């Protein structure tokens, strides 16, 4: 650019103005033509902006600012020119420069500091509009350096005689404070003084509005620091007639009232007065919001607020209706009756044209849900979901799912109902919440034993419907349905039907990951059928099927044993229908399995291929067994039993082991065994597992397989045992082994339990039993408390872990600057300014951690001080008050007189209110 040697005379003469540029842009169609035009103009501007003629430069900068603000071009190259123009004597040029700076400068702009002097000059200008330009610019681009350097100038403006300048300085102060908290020490007193300019000369309330606005922002971040100012705010609350001011004061009291109940008592009546009296809806709504969010303990105020909310709800203006619903949402946590009272309006709003209103109504409906009405409300909501547009329909489903599952399904008593509701949701045409429904179906299956039969029925209904397979959104649900049908197949009325459903041709519409779940479930169903058939055959002559586990070191806890027995009771009662597991039906199933899965054995998807081979391995083995059974029924029965049925029994035993919910921190709680080096290279393990590929990752199971690397010896020993037992069908044994390892990991042997007494593994059966017992107790208690004699049956036991089941939410970090600001405010208000000022400065220089410590110290210091004031307050109110005031404000005599007048009156009225509130 320097090569061009500056713009020629012709450039200046025929320079395009901003209007020309805008016209040009509008003439060219958006797309290449327009961008060519703009880049051509940019080239011109780059030349023009280096001009020595300020007018040319200013026009160029105007164009750049326009292009930056509305066409998002980078104009950082012009930053210096903007600074240059701000120092122009011409107001127009100055304004152009400041506008460019405030719209395009960023905290990292390097010429920012060059602006300091000019800003200082303009802040002290006699022309109020020049001051205003500087303030506006500073309020946007303020950095720590600018704030520090210009604090004295802003301070001067805070007592300017021109309201026009003063209110802008106050508004700008907020940004200065946030960048440079120490400015609070300088400016705070003057800011407080501005609170008392009610009805100042020629002011229409904007001065006070700006000041209160700043306090409102400050108090939002750390309200406690502003409690000492409560008397000033109270005065404004009762005296001001400016709605804007009142709204901000109400917002301040909403914060302060939560901290100081006595203050709440004092302001709640004036607020009610305002609420009754005011015509302005904005103010009325603010009153309502303040009352229901902070002063909800005052029955009469809440009643009045709810009345107003009702007026809003019945208004024809949609905005008011929306806000009415929002207000109701704020009332709901403490006064549910208000929502119930307006139930019809809320429900009706669910079908409003406005999405916002519908959403608020939905939230309200959800807030009404409790264990008594959850069934009814969900029925209504499903009705609305069917009628609604897809987006809102899913919103409804989402909130139903999250409300019902809150706190481990706290509000659900009838799980059979809930599970069938989940099934129903899957059939809603727009349903896109497959993932959550999938999670819950499996989660409930694992947590609530009693619901499993119903779960299997729901799963069956979903699986046998071929139409559902065509909807990709519910594939995840089908995956869960397949999993529960396989896992809990013993509850199924007709396992053959499930097998047919799992292998139906349309399953080729499923993605491979879900299809492999189907196939694995088919494997479980098959093994169950075979086992039932064989044990039934055997049972005809000898004892009932033997479920005692053969694995050494593996023990069922008592309740689990009971459970298994009752399971057997149910399943064997099904078996008593003699025709269920006939030789013929088993043969049919085997044929079905083999014919439908054989083509898949060559599938390109490893997961499918592997699982198909597992199933086929078992099926072929069983087929031989059945046929040999058939041929030599009499002679060979014993021998066949020895071989195949042992295998099948093994597999079935492995499969019928229960999954339980796993805590998120389970892995951390597993103790590291002695002598185990976790960092060691796993090459040793490789050689052991060379021929054993463990099936990893069942996408749906919450139990992520985690292999506990144990001593190599024990693994190989175990493996040897297994190999000798199951050499006949390798593919099937792999699965059994996988299961076994799961068991080894989650249900550790006695030995490891001793070692881990302090940190029990998450799924330790004994531990779980304790939990269950506790829960049983808890449920009993809650039942007693709620007194529900009409409860037809008790809520089933829900397995809960002792901590949060889903991931904990990160704790919100507070802004350090806020701490600093409020620390400074406290210092100023409580009068220990002088002592800590220098401290704080040095602290900031030394480093953040140091200054933070200081602030904390000052906080504890000030709070203890306050406490001591509380203590001796009862003895002599007035004296204490004067002392307090002396501390608070060293300057301003007339002010303290006023305060004394007002203060004594109220103190006599209500002696319980602490000194500093009056």
Please list every residue from 375 through 404 that binds another protein, using CB under 8 A.
Answer: none
Handedness of CA 314, 317, 320, 321 (dihedral sign): positive
The reply on whether position 220 binds another protein by CB under 8 A is yes
* 84 touches 56 (CB < 8 A): no
Q: Which helix (H) or strand (E) holds 537?
A: helix 512-541
* 370 touches 358 (CB < 8 A): no
* 394 touches 430 (CB < 8 A): yes
Residue number with CB closer to another protein (126 or 838): 126
Phi, psi (rounded to 5 degrees) for 807: -60, 140
Q: Could you say which of 155, 180, 295, 322 contacts another protein (CB under 8 A)? A: 322
Smallest distance, another protein to C-beta of residue 390, A: 13
The reply on whether position 286 binds another protein by CB under 8 A is yes
Q: Could you say which of 2, 3, 5, 9 contacts another protein (CB under 8 A)? A: 9
Smallest distance, another protein to C-beta of residue 70, A: 5
For 123, residues 6+ apart whose C-beta sits below 8 A from its C-beta are 131, 134, 135, 138, 150, 153, 154, 156, 157
The reply on whether position 167 binds another protein by CB under 8 A is yes
| Stretch near another protein under the rule CB under 8 A, chosen from 223-231, 313-321, 549-557, 840-848 | 313-321
Residue number with CB closer to another protein (107 or 712): 107
The reply on whether position 730 binds another protein by CB under 8 A is no
For 340, residues 6+ apart whose C-beta sits below 8 A from its C-beta are 368
The reply on whether position 364 binds another protein by CB under 8 A is no
The reply on whether position 306 binds another protein by CB under 8 A is no
Question: Which two structure tokens, joined as six digits, stand for 396?
Answer: 């409804």
Handedness of CA 390, 391, 397, 398 (dihedral sign): positive
| Stretch near another protein under the rule CB under 8 A, chosen from 233-241, 316-324, 339-347, 502-510 | 316-324
Residue number with CB closer to another protein (140 or 336): 140
Smallest distance, another protein to C-beta of residue 206, A: 6
Smallest distance, another protein to C-beta of residue 667, A: 31
Burial class (CB in 10 A: 0-12, 13-18, 19+), 421: buried
* 426 touches 477 (CB < 8 A): yes
The reply on whether position 27 binds another protein by CB under 8 A is no
HEC states along 302-339? HHHHHHHHHHHHHCCCHHHHHHHHHHHHHHCCCCHHHH
The reply on whether position 216 binds another protein by CB under 8 A is yes
Q: Which of positions 565-604 make contact with another protein (CB under 8 A)?
A: none
Q: Which of positions 869-898 make contact with another protein (CB under 8 A)?
A: none
* 103 touches 67 (CB < 8 A): no
Q: Which of positions 96-135 make contact with another protein (CB under 8 A)?
A: 96, 99, 103, 106-107, 127, 129, 132, 135
The reply on whether position 355 binds another protein by CB under 8 A is yes
Q: Which of positions 335-354 make contact with another protein (CB under 8 A)?
A: 353-354
Residue number with CB closer to another protein (295 or 439): 295
Q: Could you say which of 115, 323, 575, 651 contacts another protein (CB under 8 A)? A: 323
| Stretch near another protein under the rule CB under 8 A, chosen from 7-15, 507-515, 678-686, 689-697 | 7-15
Judged by CB under 8 A, how many residues of this single chain contact another protein? 75
The reply on whether position 627 binds another protein by CB under 8 A is no
Q: Could you say which of 28, 46, 55, 669 contacts another protein (CB under 8 A)? A: 55
Give how far the C-alpha of residue 744 lies from the chain's centroid of Cα atoms, to the nearest Å: 36
The reply on whether position 56 binds another protein by CB under 8 A is yes
Judged by DSSP in three states, 272 sits in: helix
Quickly tell me which residue has 């209504």 as its tokens.
380
Q: Which of positions 168-187 make contact with another protein (CB under 8 A)?
A: 168, 170-172, 174-175
Handedness of CA 477, 704, 714, 754 (dihedral sign): negative
Cα–Cα distance, 825 to 225 (Å, whole number): 6
Q: Which of positions 478-507 make contact with another protein (CB under 8 A)?
A: none
The reply on whether position 87 binds another protein by CB under 8 A is no
The reply on whether position 314 binds another protein by CB under 8 A is no
* 408 touches 800 (CB < 8 A): yes
Q: Could you say which of 87, 139, 623, 752 contacts another protein (CB under 8 A)? A: 139
The reply on whether position 160 binds another protein by CB under 8 A is no
The reply on whether position 359 binds another protein by CB under 8 A is yes
Residue number with CB closer to another protein (41 or 836): 41
The reply on whether position 48 binds another protein by CB under 8 A is no
Residue number with CB closer to another protein (95 or 741): 95
Cα–Cα distance, 344 to 815 (Å, whole number): 43
Cα–Cα distance, 767 to 761 (Å, whole number): 8
Residue number with CB closer to another protein (135 or 455): 135
Phi, psi (rounded to 5 degrees) for 644: -70, -40
Q: Could you say which of 116, 319, 731, 752 contacts another protein (CB under 8 A)? A: 319
Smallest distance, another protein to C-beta of residue 171, A: 4
Smallest distance, another protein to C-beta of residue 8, A: 10
Give how far the C-alpha of residue 593 lies from the chain's centroid of Cα atoms, to the nearest Å: 45
The reply on whether position 318 binds another protein by CB under 8 A is yes
Q: With both helix axes pointing from N to C terminus, report the angle between 128-141 and 91-104 in degrees, rounded to the nearest 10.
A: 10
Q: Which of positions 233-252 make contact with another protein (CB under 8 A)?
A: 243-244, 247-248, 251
Report the b/e string of 732-758 with b at 16+ CB within 10 A.
bbbbbbbbbbbbbbbbbeeebbeebee
Phi, psi (rounded to 5 degrees) for 812: -70, 135
The reply on whether position 311 binds another protein by CB under 8 A is no
Report the b/e string of 242-273 with b at 16+ CB within 10 A.
bbbbbbbbbbbbbbbbeebeebbbbbbeebbe
* 7 touches 47 (CB < 8 A): yes
The reply on whether position 263 binds another protein by CB under 8 A is no
Residue number with CB closer to another protein (220 or 633): 220
With CA atoms as reference, report the closest residue to 68 among 4, 118, 18.
Answer: 18
Q: Could you say which of 78, 79, 210, 640 contacts another protein (CB under 8 A)? A: 210
Question: Which two structure tokens, joined as six digits, stand for 832?
Answer: 């220990």
Cα–Cα distance, 227 to 865 (Å, whole number): 14
Quickly tell me which residue has 């976790």 as its tokens.
678
* 368 touches 377 (CB < 8 A): yes
Q: Which of positions 140-159 make contact with another protein (CB under 8 A)?
A: 140-141
| Stretch near another protein under the rule CB under 8 A, chosen from 94-102, 232-240, 727-735, 901-909 | 94-102
Smallest distance, another protein to C-beta of residue 365, A: 17
The reply on whether position 62 binds another protein by CB under 8 A is yes
The reply on whether position 658 binds another protein by CB under 8 A is no
């Amino acid at each position: 650019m320097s090569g061009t040697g500056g713009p020629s005379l012709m450039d200046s003469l025929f320079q395009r103005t901003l209007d020309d540029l805008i016209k040009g842009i509008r003439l060219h169609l958006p797309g290449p033509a327009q961008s060519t035009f703009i880049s051509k103009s940019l080239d011109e501007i780059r030349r023009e902006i280096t001009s020595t003629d300020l007018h040319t430069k200013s026009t160029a900068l105007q164009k750049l600012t326009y292009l930056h603000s509305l066409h998002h071009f980078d104009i950082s190259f012009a930053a210096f020119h903007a600074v240059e123009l701000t120092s122009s004597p011409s107001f127009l040029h100055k304004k152009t420069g400041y506008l460019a700076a405030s719209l395009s400068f960023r905290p990292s702009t390097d010429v920012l500091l060059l602006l300091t002097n000019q800003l200082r000059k303009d802040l002290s200008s006699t022309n109020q509009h020049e001051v205003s330009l500087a303030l506006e610019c500073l309020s946007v681009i303020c950095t720590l350096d600018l704030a520090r350097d210009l604090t004295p100038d802003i301070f001067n403006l805070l007592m300017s005689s021109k309201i026009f300048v003063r209110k802008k300085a106050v508004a700008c102060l907020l940004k200065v404070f946030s960048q440079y908290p120490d400015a609070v020490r300088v400016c705070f007193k003057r800011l407080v003084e501005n609170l008392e300019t009610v009805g100042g000369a020629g002011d229409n309330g904007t001065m006070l509005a700006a000041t209160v606005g700043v306090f409102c922002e400050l108090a939002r971040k750390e309200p406690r620091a502003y409690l000492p100012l409560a008397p000033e705010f109270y005065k404004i609350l009762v005296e001001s007639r400016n709605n804007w001011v009142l709204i901000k004061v109400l917002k301040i009291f909403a914060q302060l009232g939560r901290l100081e109940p006595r203050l709440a008592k004092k302001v709640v009546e004036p607020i009610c007065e305002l609420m009754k009296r005011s015509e302005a809806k904005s103010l009325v709504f603010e009153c309502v919001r303040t009352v229901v969010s902070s002063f909800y303990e005052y029955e009469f105020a809440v009643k009045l607020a709810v009345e107003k909310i009702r007026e809003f709800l019945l208004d024809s203006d949609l905005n008011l209706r929306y806000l009415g619903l929002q207000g109701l949402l704020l009332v709901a946590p403490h006064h549910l009756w208000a929502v119930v009272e307006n139930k019809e309006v809320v429900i009706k709003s669910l079908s409003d044209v406005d999405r916002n209103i519908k959403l608020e109504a939905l939230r309200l409906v959800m807030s009404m849900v409790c264990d008594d009405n959850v069934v009814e409300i969900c029925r209504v909501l499903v009705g609305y979901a069917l009628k609604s547009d897809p987006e809102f329909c899913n919103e409804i489903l989402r909130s139903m799912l999250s409300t019902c599952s809150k706190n481990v399904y706290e509000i659900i008593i009838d799980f059979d109902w809930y599970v069938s509701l989940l099934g129903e949701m899957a059939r809603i045409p727009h349903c896109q919440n497959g993932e959550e429904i999938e999670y819950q179906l499996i989660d409930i299956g694992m947590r609530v034993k009693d619901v499993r039969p119903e779960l299997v029925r729901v799963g069956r209904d979903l699986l046998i419907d071929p139409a559902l397979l065509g909807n990709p959104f519910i594939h995840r649900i089908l995956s869960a349905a397949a999993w529960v049908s396989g896992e809990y197949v013993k509850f199924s009325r007709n396992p053959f039907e499930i097998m047919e459903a799992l292998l139906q041709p349309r399953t080729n519409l499923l993605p491979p990951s879900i299809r492999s779940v189907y196939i694995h479930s088919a494997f479980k169903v098959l093994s169950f059928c075979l086992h039932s058939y064989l044990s039934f055959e055997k049972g005809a002559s000898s004892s009932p099927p033997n479920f005692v586990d053969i694995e050494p070191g593996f023990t069922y806890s008592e309740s689990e044993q009971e459970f298994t027995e009752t399971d057997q009771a149910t399943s064997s009662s099904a078996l008593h229908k003699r025709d269920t597991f006939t030789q013929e039906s088993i043969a049919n199933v085997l044929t079905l399995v083999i014919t439908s899965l054989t083509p898949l054995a060559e599938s390109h998807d490893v997961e499918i291929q592997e699982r198909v081979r597992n199933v086929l391995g078992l099926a072929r083995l069983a087929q031989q067994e059945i046929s040999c059974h058939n041929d030599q029924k009499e002679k060979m029965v014993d021998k066949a039993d020895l071989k195949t049925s042992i295998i099948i029994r093994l597999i079935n035993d492995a499969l019928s082991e229960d999954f339980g919910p796993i805590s998120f921190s389970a892995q951390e709680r597993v103790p590291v065994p002695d002598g185990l080096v976790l960092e060691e290279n796993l090459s040793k393990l490789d050689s052991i597992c060379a021929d054993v590929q463990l099936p990893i990752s069942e996408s749906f199971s919450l139990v992520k397989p985690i292999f506990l690397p144990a001593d190599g010896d024990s693994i190989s020993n175990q493996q040897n045992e297994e190999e000798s037992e199951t050499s006949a069908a390798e593919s099937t044994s792999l699965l059994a082994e996988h299961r076994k390892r799961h068991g080894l990991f989650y249900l550790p042997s006695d030995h490891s339990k001793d070692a881990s007494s302090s940190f029990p593994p998450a799924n330790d059966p004994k531990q779980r039993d304790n939990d269950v017992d506790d829960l049983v107790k808890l449920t009993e208690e809650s039942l007693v408390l709620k007194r529900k004699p009409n409860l037809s049956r008790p809520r089933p036991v829900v397995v809960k872990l002792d901590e949060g089941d889903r991931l904990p939410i990160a704790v919100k970090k507070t802004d350090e600057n806020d701490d600093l600001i409020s620390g400074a405010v406290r210092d100023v208000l409580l009068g220990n300014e002088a002592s800590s000022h220098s401290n704080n400065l040095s602290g900031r220089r030394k480093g953040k951690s140091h200054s933070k410590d200081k602030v904390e110290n000052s906080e504890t210091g000030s709070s203890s001080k306050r406490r001591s004031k509380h203590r001796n307050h009862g003895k002599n109110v007035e004296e204490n008050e004067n002392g307090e005031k002396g501390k608070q404000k060293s300057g301003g005599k007339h002010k303290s007189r006023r305060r004394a007048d007002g203060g004594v009156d109220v103190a006599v009225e209500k002696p319980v209110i602490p000194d500093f509130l009056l």
